Amino acid sequence: MSTQAWPDTFTIKTRRDDGTAWADYNPTLEQGEPGFETDTGLFKIGDGIAQWTELPYTTTSFYSATEAARLELDARIPGARRHTMNANTTITITDPPSGYGGNITVALVQDTTGGRTVTWPDGIRWLSGSAPTVDADPGAMTIIQLQWFGEWTGRHLS
């Protein structure tokens, strides 16, 4: 039986490039192989068959500490997101591709300081008539649902 000494630390590198380069090259990722878009923070997991542009994005996005003051919601990724606000946050939304609907639920969570505010993009038709104000209490969660029907509509869920 062979014994192998493993290093104390090691690095796993993921294929990565900006979204334009991925779309231009349009590779087929191996089954289970991740590909990371450096400009959007989004990634896809290969199935060994579909090319990059045919793969769905995963439902998780990464944000660095320097990006904490902004939240980019991408309608190509359905589902819910959670964002801890450690600064006043400006939200941007990417419209879905032509012919597709979109449904995004976002949970905005105040950090332990609280009092953070949100700036919403123009063009959202709020069902209440105006953009919601997030709960300012430390640790409080405000849940917003956004839907695309040729324009964004939004409503405050909690």
Per the CB < 8 A criterion, the answer to whether 99 and 130 are in contact is: no
Domain assignment of residue 123, given as a range: 63-158
As beta bridge partners, residue 30 has: none
Rounded distance, CA 108 to CA 52, Å? 30
Domains of the chain: total:
2
Mean pLDDT of each 10-residue bin along the chain, 158 residues long:
60 80 92 79 80 78 52 77 87 76 83 92 92 92 87 87
Per the CB < 8 A criterion, the answer to whether 138 and 113 are in contact is: yes
Q: What is this structure's pTM?
A: 0.59
Residues 142, 95 share a domain: yes
Where among 16, 38, 58 does a domain terminate?
58
- Has residue 152 been placed in a domain? yes
Residues 32, 51 share a domain: yes
